[in-house]
Amino acid sequence: MAKIDEVAKAAGVSISTVSYALSGKRPVSADTRRRIEEAVERLGYSPNAGARMLAGRRTRIFALTEPLRKDTHAPTHMAFVLATAVAARRNDYDVLLLTDEDAQAGMRRVASNRLVDAILVLDVAPEDPRVALAREIDTPTVFIGVPNDNDGLVCVDLDFEAATREAVGRMARAGHARIGLVGQPEVSYSRSNFPPRVREEFFAAASMFAVTADFRATGHEHATDAGVRAATGELLDAGATALLLHCPEESHRAVLAELADRRLRVPDDISVISVAPTFDTSALPRPLDALPLVPQASCDLAVDLALTFFDGDRPAPGIRLIPPAYLDHGSLARVPDAPSAAVAASAVA
Amino acid sequence: MAKIDEVAKAAGVSISTVSYALSGKRPVSADTRRRIEEAVERLGYSPNAGARMLAGRRTRIFALTEPLRKDTHAPTHMAFVLATAVAARRNDYDVLLLTDEDAQAGMRRVASNRLVDAILVLDVAPEDPRVALAREIDTPTVFIGVPNDNDGLVCVDLDFEAATREAVGRMARAGHARIGLVGQPEVSYSRSNFPPRVREEFFAAASMFAVTADFRATGHEHATDAGVRAATGELLDAGATALLLHCPEESHRAVLAELADRRLRVPDDISVISVAPTFDTSALPRPLDALPLVPQASCDLAVDLALTFFDGDRPAPGIRLIPPAYLDHGSLARVPDAPSAAVAASAVA
DNA sequence: TTGAAAGCGGTACCAG
DNA sequence: CTGGTACCGCTTTCAA
């Protein structure tokens, strides 16, 4: 618990020189710097956080608000929290958890407190009360997710529309004329911001590529295995030759189970692409092509944006969409033109 | 962003009076207090966090270290994080997340930083490197979980042994002569601290109550539904008339599914008790009796202990075990002494 | 390239 | 019951 003056004394320099040597905000002769670093090392000096917050301009802490609703998908959520923490630490920042029953109270507190330099908003809802609050407080706020009303806000997110469009486009180009979307449970379409975006773009892209599109939700409140299998079955019965999956890992497994029960092989009998999964689809019983939602990408960008608030100019408000990358695991094939193929085969024979 | 001197001026009192009025550490006349509170309200005053940390003795921040291993059960883990945050907020504390790849680096940093008043350790492993570190730093540390080597540490946890013993005892008293434990996947028995405690006490209690005990793990790395159903089946085939469940929510459902497939009714044909679940077992397809692990109870106690470090005396090192409560949902019945019952019934007929 | 010193915004001791 | 004020430990002018 050595203090800066002890370091200064040990190094035979003034307090300010120690400070500058450590922050690098002023040139320090090589020799002086070496002596200071040596003293710091020997005394195990570590600048007092409170003092830095008070004297300096920044606290080196980000707040992370996460409303933790009962229907939050824990693994996905945790991935985002972890990604945020990692991104923050990479920039020498710590993360303060704001899990207040009333998220707004927490945001207000740390804002008037000056406890944090910026607030990162997770698990954004279409109509999110934190939007109004963000406009009200003067602490920089970055949304990881896109609320309906996002005027003047700084938001980052995966480009769900582009991801969906690319998946549909690939299916269409592979000759699939009827594709199905295995979606989320119904309530997600009003509570979260991205499920509706995927669904809307699914239909838009389908019409753009002139293919027939069917959608099925996977339950009401929660995606049960039964709900997922039923949805899958209905889409198949309707004649889909390709499935777009937009649901949690467990549901992916349920879809694959249903396909297996029906003796449908991927991709020979049915093509499958996962949109915006947060887990590794190559680790599934049957690896699936995917346009993954990479939490680290969103969170890295969010932290970068939060930091630019301090480099003088605040970043231009607006939505930053992260372009999706396509991961090929061989679960998409040309349409199994079974009849004609059989005919052709027998013709050759 | 009003400061304390503005509040003082507005209320017509000195800075120190404002401070004391707010902290309550010195009596203030009712009238003065009222004027101060009014000024605070009107100016929207909120004491600067950094200044308080520097001048005061405490930072009002707890660090929460959570190693987030790949095999962490996300929902359970989140429940603990949330419970900790709630307990902290109730005491006017915030929670800083320490998810460093290297948990020790984070602990060391906030300790020498003086960024936090205490460190709460989650997800404790039997051999946890954070134990040695806790002894080395001078920031109060509370473990939520019990490591093997816990000399001199402050730990809180559910009394898994008592919970297991009570479950086994109830089964034995209900006449069950052969009981089975559906456990966790194998790796959990070396990575976590409580699965082994449950298993060991399971056998100890069984021998104490003179009943036969069987144990089955539910997979190697992860508890798959197949693994759970297989384990359940084997225990049933071995003749168990009562099952103790010590596994996540999904596995409970798998057990129930297996029982349903076998046309076994709970509790008529088979009794079931869940040990240390972190979810609501009454919401299962078939409500189950349980000795729940209540995160809030552990975390409340942990925070209380952390706070006592500041009331002058540090709490006596040692393990605080929270006594389990039995929740009766009618899934335990007297042994289905089928043969003799049938005989008796036919005799009457 | 380096040093001296004025804050940053509270807390809490010492007086009255 | 209330005021004055010396710090808390670091950052950052202002001077040299």
Position A230 pLDDT exceeds 70: yes
Distance A348 CA to D7 C1' (A): 96
pLDDT in tens, B230-264: 999 999 999 999 999 998 888 999 999 999 999 99
pLDDT at A336: 62
Give the residue with greater pLDDT, B192 vs A152: A152
d(CA B334, CA B172): 9
- Residues of chain B with Cβ-Cβ distance to A95 below 8 Å are 96-97, 99
Helices (H), chain B: 4-11, 15-23, 30-43, 49-55, 74-90, 103-113, 129-136, 160-173, 188-191, 194-208, 225-237, 249-261, 295-308, 338-348
pLDDT in tens, A169-208: 999 999 999 999 999 999 888 888 889 999 999 999 999 9
Mean pLDDT of chain B: 91
Distance A41 CA to C2 C1' (A): 22
Position B343 pLDDT exceeds 80: no
Position A348 pLDDT exceeds 60: no
pLDDT at B339: 43
**Is any atom of nucleic acid chain C found less than 7 Å from the CB of residue A343?**
no
Asked if B49 lies within 8 A of A85 by C-beta distance, the reply is no
Interface check A52 vs B, CB under 8 A = yes
pLDDT at B83: 95
For A205, A275, B306, the CA distances from A322, given in Å and listed in that order, are 19, 14, 42
Asked if B95 lies within 8 A of A95 by C-beta distance, the reply is no
DSSP-assigned beta bridge partners for residue A214: A180
pLDDT in tens, B51-106: 999 999 899 999 999 987 777 888 999 999 999 999 999 999 999 999 877 889 99
pLDDT at B219: 87
In chain B, what percentage of residues exceed pLDDT 70? 95
pLDDT in tens, B123-133: 998 899 999 99
Residue B312's pLDDT band, with cuts at 50, 70 and 90, is low
Q: Which of the nucleotides lies closest to B55 (Cα–C1')? A: D8
Mean pLDDT of chain A: 91
Interface check B85 vs A, CB under 8 A = yes
d(CA B132, CA B144): 16
Asked if B81 lies within 8 A of A61 by C-beta distance, the reply is no
Residue B337's pLDDT band, with cuts at 50, 70 and 90, is low
DSSP-assigned beta bridge partners for residue B212: B178
pLDDT in tens, A244-266: 999 888 899 999 999 999 999 98
Tell me which residue has tokens 């966790």.
Answer: B184
Work out the angle between the directed axes of helices B74-90 and A74-90 (0-180°, nearest 10). 70
Position A100 pLDDT exceeds 80: no
For A158, B142, B155, B231, B255, the CA distances from B234, given in Å and listed in that order, are 46, 40, 36, 5, 12
Nearest to A114 among B49, B89, B109 (CB): B49
Asked if B49 lies within 8 A of A52 by C-beta distance, the reply is no
What is the arithmetic mean of pLDDT over B217-229? 87
pLDDT at A45: 96
Residue B237's identity, in one-letter code, is D
Asked if A109 lies within 8 A of B53 by C-beta distance, the reply is no
Residue A31's pLDDT band, with cuts at 50, 70 and 90, is very high
B177 three-class SS? coil
Nearest to B114 among A49, A74, A115 (CB): A49
DSSP-assigned beta bridge partners for residue B155: B143, B319
Residue A342's pLDDT band, with cuts at 50, 70 and 90, is very low
- Residues of chain A with Cβ-Cβ distance to B139 below 8 Å are none
Position A346 pLDDT exceeds 50: no
Tokens standing for A108? 């207000």
d(CA B204, CA B198): 10
Interface test with A, best of B102, B115, B117 (most A CBs within 10 A): B115
Nearest chain A alpha carbon to B71 = A75
Position B340 pLDDT exceeds 80: no
Asked if B85 lies within 8 A of A77 by C-beta distance, the reply is no
Determine contact, residues A19/A3, Cβ cutoff 8 Å: no
Look at residues A258, A281, A299 and name the one whose alpha carbon lies nearest to residue A93: A299
Residue B344's pLDDT band, with cuts at 50, 70 and 90, is very low
- The CA-CA-CA angle for residues A289, A291, A292, to 5°, reads 110
B 226-265 residues inside an 8 A Cβ radius of A:
250
The B178-182 sheet, strands edge to edge: B212-216, B178-182, B242-245, B271-275, B289-291
Half-sphere exposure of A147 (CA within 13 A, CB side): 20
Tokens standing for A133? 């609050």
| Centroid of chain to Cα B239 | 33
Enumerate domains of chain B plus CATH numbers: 4-46 (1.10.260.40), 57-158+294-322 (3.40.50.2300), 160-293+326-348 (3.40.50.2300)
Position A300 pLDDT exceeds 50: yes
d(CA A226, CA A336): 27
Position A47 pLDDT exceeds 90: yes
- The CA-CA-CA angle for residues B298, B301, B304, to 5°, reads 150
Longest Cα pair distance anywhere in chain B, in angstroms? 94
Interface check A82 vs B, CB under 8 A = yes
Interface check B82 vs A, CB under 8 A = yes
Position A338 pLDDT exceeds 60: no
Tell me which residue has tokens 């005053």.
Answer: B45
Position A240 pLDDT exceeds 60: yes
Nearest residue (Cα to C1') for C7? A55
Interface check A89 vs B, CB under 8 A = yes
Name the residues in B44-63 having a C-beta closer than 7 Å to nucleic acid strand C.
45, 47-48, 51-52, 54-57
B 132-171 residues inside an 8 A Cβ radius of A:
138
- Any idea of the CA torsion for A173, A174, A176, A182, to the nearest 10 degrees? -90
Q: Which of the nucleotides lies closest to A56 (Cα–C1')? A: D11
Dihedral of alpha carbons B54, B56, B60, B64, sign: positive
Asked if B78 lies within 8 A of A78 by C-beta distance, the reply is yes
d(CA A288, CA A332): 8
Residue B314's pLDDT band, with cuts at 50, 70 and 90, is confident
Asked if A44 lies within 8 A of B112 by C-beta distance, the reply is yes
d(CA A214, CA A176): 13
Distance B141 CA to C6 C1' (A): 38
Nearest chain B alpha carbon to A61 = B96
Determine contact, residues B227/B199, Cβ cutoff 8 Å: no
